[in-house]
Chain A
Amino acid sequence: MTHTTQSNNDLLLTVSDLKKYYPVRRGILARVAAHVKAVDGVSFSLQRGETLGLVGESGCGKTTVGRTILRLLDPTSGEVHFNGTSVFALHGEELRQIRKQMQIIFQDPFGSLNPRMTVGGIVMEGMVAHAMHPKTERPERAQALLERVGLSREHFFRYPHEFSGGQRQRIGIARALAVEPKFIVCDEPVSALDVSIQAQIINLLSDLKQEYGLSYLFIAHDLAVVQHISDRIAVMYLGKIMEEATSEELFRNPLHPYTKALLAAIPKGVPGEKAKRQTLPGDVPSPLNPPAGCPFHPRCPQVMEECRSKPIERVEQSAGHFVACHLFPASAIGSAKPAGAAG
Chain B
Amino acid sequence: MTTAQTNPLLEVRDLKTYFATDRGVARAVDGVSFSIPPRTTMGLVGESGCGKSVTALSILRLIPSPPGRIAGGSILFEGQDLAALSEEEIRHVRGNQISMIFQEPMTSLNPVFTLGNQIMEAILTHQPVSHAEAREQTIDMLRRVKIPAAETLLDQYPHQISGGMRQRVMIAMALVCRPKLLIADEPTTALDVTIQAQILELLEDLQEEFGMSVLLITHDLGIVADVADQVAVMYAGRIVEMAPTVELFRNPQHPYTTGLFRSRPSLGRKKARLDVIPGTVPNPTHFPEGCRFHPRCAYAVDDCKKTDVTLQNISGEHGSACLLGQRKELQLQPV
Query: Which residues of A does B touch, CB under 8 Å?
Result: 57-58, 164, 166-167, 194-200, 202-203, 206, 221, 223-225, 227-228, 247-248, 251-252, 261-272, 274, 277-281, 283-284
**Residue among B165, B195, B266 with most chain A CB within 10 A:** B195
- B281–A194 touching, CB < 8 Å: yes
Contact with A along B171-212 (1 / 0, CB 8 A): 000000000000000000000111111101100000000000
- B225–A196 touching, CB < 8 Å: no
Query: Which residues of B does A touch, CB under 8 Å?
Result: 47-48, 162, 164-165, 192-198, 200-201, 219-226, 228, 245-246, 248-249, 259-260, 263-268, 270-271, 273-278, 280-281
Q: How far is the CA of A264 from the CA of B193 in the complex (A)?
A: 10
Answer whether A228 and B197 are a contact pair too, CB < 8 Å, given A195-B264, A196-B277, A284-B192. Answer: no
- A267–B265 touching, CB < 8 Å: no
Q: How far is the CA of A270 from the CA of B248 in the complex (A)?
A: 11
- A271–B281 touching, CB < 8 Å: no
Beyond A194-B219, A221-B192, 8 additional pairs, beta carbon < 8 A: A196-B259, A196-B281, A198-B263, A203-B273, A203-B274, A267-B225, A280-B194, A283-B195
Give the residue name and chain of the A residue nearest to B50 (CB). A194
**CB-contact partner of B277 in A58, A199, A248, A269, under 8 A:** A199
Contacts of B260 in A (CB 8 A): 195-196
Contacts of A263 in B (CB 8 A): 267
Q: How far is the CA of A262 from the CA of B194 in the complex (A)?
A: 6
- B194–A261 touching, CB < 8 Å: yes
Question: Number of residue pairs across A and B with beta carbons under 8 Å?
Answer: 126
Contacts of B194 in A (CB 8 A): 57, 261-262, 265, 279-280, 284
**Residue among A264, A272, A283 with most chain B CB within 10 A:** A283
Contacts of A261 in B (CB 8 A): 194
Contacts of B259 in A (CB 8 A): 196
- A227–B276 touching, CB < 8 Å: no
Q: How far is the CA of A252 from the CA of B267 in the complex (A)?
A: 10
Contacts of B48 in A (CB 8 A): 194
Contacts of A197 in B (CB 8 A): 47, 280
Q: How far is the CA of A105 from the CA of B271 in the complex (A)?
A: 24
Instruction: Please give the distance in Å from B191's CB to the nearest CB on chain A.
Output: 9
**CB-contact partner of B246 in A271, A277, A279, A281, under 8 A:** A271
Contacts of B265 in A (CB 8 A): 199, 202, 224-225, 227-228
Give the residue name and chain of the A residue nearest to B190 (CB). A58
Q: How far is the CA of A263 from the CA of B193 in the complex (A)?
A: 9
Answer whether A227 and B267 are a contact pair too, CB < 8 Å, given A203-B273, A261-B194, A277-B197. Answer: yes
- B225–A277 touching, CB < 8 Å: no
Q: How far is the CA of A265 from the CA of B164 in the complex (A)?
A: 15
Contacts of B264 in A (CB 8 A): 195, 199, 224, 269
Give the residue name and chain of the B residue nearest to A248 (CB). B270
Answer whether A221 and B280 are a contact pair too, CB < 8 Å, given A198-B263, A227-B270. Answer: no
- A196–B263 touching, CB < 8 Å: yes
Contacts of B268 in A (CB 8 A): 227, 251-252
Instruction: Please give the distance in Å from B219's CB to the nearest CB on chain A.
Output: 6
Give the residue name and chain of the A residue nearest to B235 (CB). A196
Instruction: Please give the distance in Å from A215's CB to the nearest CB on chain B.
Output: 19
Contacts of B221 in A (CB 8 A): 195, 269
Answer whether A269 and B249 are a contact pair too, CB < 8 Å, given A195-B219, A227-B270. Answer: yes
- B219–A228 touching, CB < 8 Å: no
Instruction: Please give the distance in Å from B180's CB to the nearest CB on chain A.
Output: 23
Q: How far is the CA of A267 from the CA of B204 in the complex (A)?
A: 14
**Residue among A164, A251, A261, A267 with most chain B CB within 10 A:** A267
- B219–A267 touching, CB < 8 Å: no
Q: How far is the CA of A228 from the CA of B265 in the complex (A)?
A: 6
- B192–A58 touching, CB < 8 Å: yes
Instruction: Please give the distance in Å from B192's CB to the nearest CB on chain A.
Output: 4
